[in-house]
Amino acid sequence: MATRIAFLGLGVMGYPMAGHLARAGHHVVVFNRTASRAERWLAEYAGERAATPAAAAESADFVLACVGRDADVRAVALGVDGAFHAMRKGAVFVDHTTASAGLARELAADAERRGFGFVDAPVSGGEQGAKNGALTIMCGGTDGAYAKTEPIFNTYARQCRRMGEAGAGQLTKMVNQICIAGVVQGLSEGLSFARAAGLDPEAVIEVISKGAAQSWQMENRYKTMLAGHFEHGFAVEWMRKDLAICLDEARRNGSSLPVAALVDQFYADVENIGGKRWDTSSLFARLEYLRDAKR
């Protein structure tokens, strides 16, 4: 018998993730706040559409959420028609949203009281990773809840790992975003410097990408950055949301994030020049804008 899965949120990431589950033969019931997007998904994949998160969660073995912010997670999980009110004992709620560790711990405790499992499982890999079934998933939760969900994750991930108890997945995703922020800023500065110095930036990258400066961002983004194309991934407004979570957690645990805090300010500059929906590599556009303004 096919596993019954509820998928809540058919955004840039959730849409293809739910699609992989349907193609793998699972019985997928989807919920999306914008019903037309759910109808579009149903025209492409086999499944059902539910009118509320609770209706989607009824009789589900797994309920997966991939929404925007903490408030959105609360709405689909604990709202008037939230999934938690309808989930059966023994099921597992998985939150793929990048959210706060505090929320993950709160939901895990609530789920335990209600008799079902919880896994916080933020993802990395972007839209292409979701489409290609090549995401990385960082998980927090009990061994038992994670063991149940790992086969589901393998449908759309190339790597998944339990990092610890509830909240550990979100904390690991914070580390991921902190690292990305610094790497993208460094790459942006290097490309801008190369261009200002009269070098051929592409030739520079061909040389330095074979050494210690190499990174995923360099391999996958330098050409689009130089071409001024910033429609290839995670939007600036969402990166700022994630960095706000990181900075809030840092204040809580006493860690210092000077580079992440500075890059967040740079992303605010990108928003101010119209780049709210540009991808995170648009830090380069900010530097080019500043250089042009000096001429």
Clarify whether residues 103 and 195 are in a common domain: no
Cβ(14)–Cβ(37) under 8 Å? Answer: no
Domain count, the chain: 2
Clarify whether residues 145 and 77 are in a common domain: yes
Q: What is the pLDDT of residue 232?
A: 80
Q: What is the pLDDT of residue 292?
A: 82
Clarify whether residues 191 and 95 are in a common domain: no
**Mean confidence (pLDDT) of the chain:** 96
Clarify whether residues 100 and 223 are in a common domain: no
Clarify whether residues 161 and 35 are in a common domain: yes
Clarify whether residues 120 and 57 are in a common domain: yes
25 confidence band (pLDDT: 50, 70, 90): very high
Q: For residue 1, is pLDDT > 80?
A: no
CA 269 to chain centre: 22
Question: How far is it, in rounded angstroms, from Cα 67 to Cα 154?
Answer: 20
* Domain boundary, last residue among 131, 165, 199: 165
Beta bridge partner(s), residue 93: 63, 118
Clarify whether residues 148 and 207 are in a common domain: no
Question: How far is it, in rounded angstroms, from Cα 287 to Cα 270?
Answer: 10
Check residue 215 and report its DSSP letter: -
Range of the domain at 211: 171-294
> Using one digit for the tens of pLDDT, what is the confidence trace for 241-271?
999 999 999 999 999 999 999 999 999 999 9
Question: How far is it, in rounded angstroms, from Cα 69 to Cα 184?
Answer: 23
Which residue among the candidates 89, 148, 173, 210 is catalytic per the annotation? Answer: 173
Q: What is the CATH number of the domain that holds 278?
A: 1.10.1040.10
Question: How far is it, in rounded angstroms, from Cα 192 to Cα 188?
Answer: 6
Clarify whether residues 148 and 22 are in a common domain: yes
> Using one digit for the tens of pLDDT, what is the confidence trace for 104-135?
999 999 999 999 999 999 999 989 899 999 99
From the list 123, 240, 264, the residue with the least C-alpha distance to 185 is 264
From the list 288, 26, 286, the residue with the least C-alpha distance to 156 is 26
Clarify whether residues 43 and 150 are in a common domain: yes
Query: Which amino acid, residue 165?
Result: E
Q: Catalytic annotation on 276? A: no
> Using one digit for the tens of pLDDT, what is the confidence trace for 185-238?
999 999 999 999 999 999 999 999 999 999 999 999 999 999 999 998 789 999
Cβ(93)–Cβ(117) under 8 Å? Answer: yes
Q: For residue 65, is pLDDT > 80?
A: yes
* Domain boundary, last residue among 165, 194, 228: 165
Q: For residue 101, is pLDDT > 80?
A: yes
Clarify whether residues 126 and 151 are in a common domain: yes
Q: What is the pLDDT of residue 10?
A: 98
Arithmetic mean of pLDDT, 10-25: 97
Beta bridge partner(s), residue 117: 92
